Amino acid sequence: MEFDESLLVQRFSATSMDKETGLRKIYHQQLTLHCSHCHTVLGDSCGICGEIQSLDSIVCLSVTTDIVVGGANDFGRKGEIANCIYRSLICRCCASLVGKVILSGPSCLSMIRSLFLLHKPDISCYILDSKSLVKAVTVTFDVKPLVPAINEVEKQFRAHLENFTHMSSRLMANNSGTYKLGQ
């Protein structure tokens, strides 16, 4: 078909669409995060840890130097960030508010303290494989759970340990037998 290489086909082949929500799901796609106001690069897929849907935010471990952490502490008064102390994240190029860093808050938010929370409505995503720029609110940043991967690694480790133990005991038996024969 003559349209196989079209931008529309490329856009949807790099992602999968969730039929219930209509959102694009990104799994291990290479992408960059941009300020939706001036398109400055703020981060990339290597720094993304996931998302907090209740805060409508992308959780990042690292961002570019084009994000400035505000100097003054703010206090959350309502919603999910009630009783939280946080600092605003500001785009260095256009001075738009693009997110926050929670410094202190209730225990339910302890896992995201000191991580960068980029507010999805203020972020665009450039998906490298499809060469398309989409709004972050149309993308889910689901992270596959680590437990199955950890269980698989543990299983492989135990198999290697058992193999090593068996080989070690055979070597010990061979060495002790050889030593006795030599005496």
Q: Which residue has better confidence, 141 or 146? A: 141
Query: Which pLDDT belongs to residue 46?
Result: 87
Tell me, yes or no, whether 166 and 96 share the same domain: no
Domain shared by 90 and 179, yes or no: no
Q: Are residues 83 and 158 in the same domain?
A: no
Q: Per-residue confidence at 172, pLDDT binned at 50, 70, 90?
A: confident
What secondary structure, in 3-state letters, does 63-80 show? CCCCEEECCCCEECCCHH
Determine which of 23-27, 46-50, 70-74 has the lowest per-residue pLDDT on average: 23-27
pLDDT band for 177, please (50, 70, 90 cuts): low
How far apart (Å, rounded) are the C-alpha atoms in residues 164 and 179?
22
Q: Which of 104, 100, 93 is nearest to 116 (CA)?
A: 100
Residue 37 near residue 94, CB atoms below 8 Å: yes
Sorting pLDDT into bands at 50, 70 and 90, what band is 23?
low
Mean pLDDT value of segment 9-27:
47
7 in any annotated domain: no
Question: Do 98 and 152 reside in the same domain of the chain?
Answer: no
Let me know if residue 5 belongs to a domain.
no
| Containing structural domain, residue 61 | 14-144
pLDDT digits (tens, 9 = 90+) for 33-58: 999 999 999 999 888 888 888 899 99
Residue 15 has pLDDT above 50, yes or no: no
Give yes or no for residue 121 having a pLDDT over 90: yes
Q: Are residues 22 and 65 in the same domain?
A: yes
Q: Within this chain, do residues 108 and 169 fall inside the same structural domain, yes or no?
A: no
Same domain, 137 and 179: no
Check residue 141 and give its pLDDT.
81
Is there a single domain that holds both residue 130 and residue 43? yes
How do the residues of the chain divide into helix, strand and coil, expressed in percent and rounded to 5? 35, 30, 35
Task: Note the pLDDT of residue 1.
Answer: 31
- In the chain, what percentage of residues exceed pLDDT 90? 43
In a domain, 87, yes or no: yes
Q: Is the pLDDT of residue 150 over 90?
A: no
Q: Distance (Å, rounded) from C-alpha 112 to C-alpha 120?
A: 16
- The structural domain count of the chain equals 2
In this predicted structure, what is the pLDDT of residue 13? 38
Read off the CATH number of the domain in which 118 is found.
2.170.150.20
Same-domain check for residues 103 and 152: no
